[in-house]
Amino acid sequence: MTAPQQRKAEQVLGHSFADASLLEGALCHPSAGVPGAQFERLEFLGDRVLGMAVAELLYRHYPDDPEGMLSRRLAALVRKETCAEILVELGLEGCLRLAGDARGNQTIQGDACEALIGALYLDGGYDAARSFVERGWKDRLLNPPERLRDTKTRLQEWSLARGLGVPRYETVDREGPDHAPVFTVSVHVGEGLQARGQGSSKRQAEMAAAGQLLKEAGNE
């Protein structure tokens, strides 16, 4: 990681690292082939810290929400896709060290966002990590409930409401290297409705397929 990249990352994260190796570890994906990299361990930790921080923020922001609604909000906010979107929006993707064919992979972007939260927690404590999450997730914390139902959920509701049964998903292809796979999934509703979607995980591909079918059905 170059000095300008470190300065940019610290500025975006709102934290100056006492141990710069933590920041470097969070930005160095295993595909880069660097021995002793701690990316995956930081991601593991950051995933848990993110969940705690978002749960606390939701509890404070929505004092009248029942547990079920809080759980749906939490699930939407800690999804890998959400983490990836935030990493890109903050301009941190360019700081990642990874194999060339892995760049732009949404799963890796989401993992990196979680790894950065883990690094913040270890270097600055919970308050540093929580502060970043509160700033990075602020707009999404205020999203209306409709946005919290993912495309698979919305497609199933749409399908069942029309007596078409539960959507059926089938993985039809998998391409690319192990660290940057591309899945193609087909979704079928009833007897004749179908669509395809692609993503860097089966879930992402299923979501893309569901969104495409909803779009074609005029419900998006």
Whole-angstrom Cα distance, residue 25 to residue 42? 8
218 dihedral zone (left: phi>0; alpha: psi -120 to 50; beta):
left
Tokens 């049964």 locate to 165
- State whether the Cα torsion 154-137-140-145 is positive or negative: positive
Same domain, 17 and 100: yes
The domain boundary, picked from 99, 119, 143, lies at 143
Tokens 């978002």 locate to 54
- For the stretch 115-145, pLDDT in tens is 999 999 999 999 999 999 999 998 888 865 4
Total structural domains in the chain?
2
The domain boundary, picked from 120, 143, 166, lies at 143
Q: Choosing from 43, 111, 114, 123, which is the catalytic residue?
A: 114
Same domain, 113 and 156: no
Same domain, 113 and 198: no
Same domain, 100 and 125: yes
Same domain, 159 and 177: yes
**67 in active site:** no
The per-residue pLDDT for 51 is: 97
The per-residue pLDDT for 69 is: 85
Same domain, 173 and 134: no
CA 82-4-99 angle, to 5 degrees, is: 55
**114 in active site:** yes
Same domain, 17 and 123: yes
Q: What is the extent of the structural domain holding 32?
A: 3-143
CATH code: domain of residue 34? 1.10.1520.10
Taking the chain, what is the end-to-end CA distance rounded to the nearest angstrom?
41
Same domain, 20 and 126: yes
Beta-strand ranges (E) seen in the chain are: 168-175, 182-189, 193-199
The per-residue pLDDT for 179 is: 74
Q: Choosing from 47, 123, 150, 206, which is the catalytic residue?
A: 47
- For the stretch 11-46, pLDDT in tens is 999 999 999 999 999 999 888 878 777 999 999 999
The domain boundary, picked from 143, 171, 193, lies at 143
CATH code: domain of residue 170? 3.30.160.20
- Residue 5 has which token pair? 């990249």
